[in-house]
Amino acid sequence: MDQVFKQTTSAALKSRYDYCAGCGHGIAVRLVAEVIDELGLRGQTVGILGVGCYSTNPVTFNFDCQFALHGRAPAMATAVKRLLPDRLVFTMQGDGDLAAIGTTEIVHAATRGERFTVLMLNNANFGETGGHMAPTTVIGQRTPSTPNGRDPEIHGYPTRITEMLALLDGAKYVARVALDKPANIMRAKAAIKKAFEIQLSGQGFTMVEVLTACPSGWRLTPVESLKWMSEVQMKTYPIGELKVAAS
């Protein structure tokens, strides 16, 4: 019988699995691991993990990882990639981590054209703290810190940081993907692989924003969450490639 599914080598369940039911982080971790396996680069990879549920749970990535302070992963990745230019270096950051406290680091890393890949998991809230408003929270979205829904008059507008970064000369590949249905998940994997390949070819800064479901933060069931992602979240954050520089 043909084997159609197996554990990845680059991600392995160690002792326990702490993501909520329906959380998109597990899928994102799995996709990254599959790509690294396919590229055969597990032994040369350094992941830099920001602060969020994806990093506070027991480590599932089965390769070297550094843990960054909130928002600072691009600064650490900058040093690592410059000192070890032949390694595959990526950051995994949440939308709160990257688009709020970490805006300085991400903008300047992209400006300098640092040759690592940024994977931003956008679940439109601070999942780890309890679902509070993030820069990416969409208009009308209710969170513990926007109990009546996000109101642009009071809370400002959602931040489309990926579009902003795509404008910078140092950025060579910028895409947004969503983990809402199998076809999009396969597209997400292709985008991550493309970003890694462009990194390895030494062209410059690469980034993939990944829309991930956060049923606990959104106060929805896992099934409702996927629907909300395609019907509401994707209106503010349309998916697709935002920038593909000619190589």
Partner 1 sequence: MNCNRAIVEAAIQAGCRFFTGYPFTPATECLEQASHRLPAAGGVYLQAEAEVSAINMLMGAAIAGFRCMTATSGAGFALMQEGVSHMAGIAEVPCVIVNVMRGGPGFGNLAPTQSDYRMATRGGGPGDYRCLVFGPATVQEAADLTKLAFALADRYRTPAIILSDQMLAETTEAFDLGDPLPEEPVEKWWATTGCKGREPIYMGRPGKNYGPEAEYLSGNLTLNLIGLARAGRDPDTFEAHMLRLAEKYHRIEAEEVRVETLYLDDAELAVVAFGTSARLIRPAIERARSEGLRVGLIRPITLWPFPSRLIADAAERVRDVLVVEMSMGQMVDDVRLAVNGRTPVHLFSTLGGVVPRPETVGREIRQILGLVTADSRA
Residues that bind ligand SF4 (CB under 6 A): 19-20, 23, 25, 53, 123, 127-128, 214-217
Return left, alpha or beta for 84; rule: phi > 0 is left, psi -120 to 50 is alpha, else beta.
Answer: beta
Query: Which residues in 149-168 contact partner 1 (CB under 8 A)?
Result: none
**221 part of the interface to partner 1, by CB under 8 A:** no
Return left, alpha or beta for 22; rule: phi > 0 is left, psi -120 to 50 is alpha, else beta.
Answer: left
Please say which residue, 41 or 220, places its beta carbon nearer to ligand SF4: 220
Max intra-chain CA distance, the chain: 60
Helix (H) or strand (E) holding 88: strand 88-94
CA dihedral 57, 60, 62, 67 (to 10 degrees): -20
Residue 244 beta carbon to partner 1: minimum distance, rounded to whole angstroms: 26
Using CB distances below 5 to 8 A depending on partner kind, what does residue 244 bind out of partner 1, ligand SF4, none? Answer: none
Please say which residue, 130 or 156, places its beta carbon nearer to partner 1: 130
**56 part of the interface to partner 1, by CB under 8 A:** yes
Query: Position 163: which residue type?
Result: E
**77 part of the interface to partner 1, by CB under 8 A:** yes
**228 part of the interface to partner 1, by CB under 8 A:** no
**123 part of the interface to partner 1, by CB under 8 A:** no
- The number of residues that bind partner 1 (CB under 8 A) is 47
What tokens does 158 get? 């959602």
Using CB distances below 5 to 8 A depending on partner kind, what does residue 207 bind out of ligand SF4, partner 1, none? Answer: none
DSSP string, 46-71: EEEE-SSHHHHSSP-B-SEEEE--TT
**31 part of the interface to partner 1, by CB under 8 A:** no
